[in-house]
Amino acid sequence: MILEVTRRCNMCCEHCLRGDAQNLDMAEETVDKLLEQVGSIATVTFSGGEPSLNVPLIRYFFKKARECGVMPYSFYVVTNGKANQLDLAAVLLEVYPEMEEPEACGISLSVDQYHEELDTSPLVKGLVFYDPQKEHQDFDERWVLRRGRAYESGIGTAGVTKEFQVEGDGGDGVMVEELYVSADGSIYPDCNLSYDDMESDYEQVPIENALPFLTGLLKEELAEAV
């Protein structure tokens, strides 16, 4: 599960696949409606925009997940390191002992030629679950997805667009390989889309209809298989 907790950002990277930042935060109501329909969560990733600009929503997600008995097994977040790092670290450290798969937890810092260089040593690098996988001394342009601002800049490659991968869970439920929940409260199968692509290439499925929509997809697949 990937939550786009905000579309705001405090950087303006040339390679940003999202496109221009938007003044939009995920609402607590979206988290409520999402978790009402969820039986379990393997891992939650907080995405953006820049996720550190909406730490209160991240905190709210864990509070609500705890109440609903659906704490994820692990978490992951990539931050540009520019703001609210103490708050972000605090909320993740608080829930870390509750994670069933702590070895799968991570926070990564974006370090490459496209992001602004930070003049202080980022605090998150000292966390026990810090993961350096997003530190690239010289990020190969071929790995940049040509979407959003990268498309405008003419850099990167096209990238692949996904469809929802669903299967039955043996009961009445649906297992979803990847569920992207955007800040506007709609669901998508792909975390690598620009905001424009989301609007133009996909059916807008509001979060309250996620389970019926995905169940419908599963029924279609089963009908095709027989």
Q: Does the footprint of ligand SF4 cover residue 12 (CB under 6 A)? A: yes
DSSP 4: E
Site string for ligand SF4, 112-131 (x = CB under 6 A): ---x----------------
Locate 158 and state its tokens: 């096209």
* Residue list 41-70, contact with ligand SF4 (CB under 6 A): 48-50
Judge whether 47 and 3 are in contact, CB under 8 Å: yes
CB of 112 to ligand SF4, least distance (A): 9
Tell me how many residues contact ligand SF4 (CB under 6 A): 11
Judge whether 142 and 157 are in contact, CB under 8 Å: yes
- If the CB atoms of residues 41 and 51 are measured against ligand SF4, the closer one turns out to be 51
- If the CB atoms of residues 17 and 210 are measured against ligand SF4, the closer one turns out to be 17
The C-alpha atoms of residue 60 and residue 140 are separated, in whole angstroms, by: 36
- Looking at the DSSP bridge assignments, the partners of residue 4 are 47
Locate 48 and state its tokens: 């953006």
Q: Does the footprint of ligand SF4 cover residue 7 (CB under 6 A)? A: no
The C-alpha atoms of residue 9 and residue 7 are separated, in whole angstroms, by: 7
Q: Does the footprint of ligand SF4 cover residue 19 (CB under 6 A)? A: no
CB of 70 to ligand SF4, least distance (A): 27
**Dihedral Cα 26, 51, 147, 155, nearest 10 deg:** 160
Question: Rule CB under 6 A: which residues touch ligand SF4?
Answer: 9, 11-13, 16, 18, 48-50, 80, 115
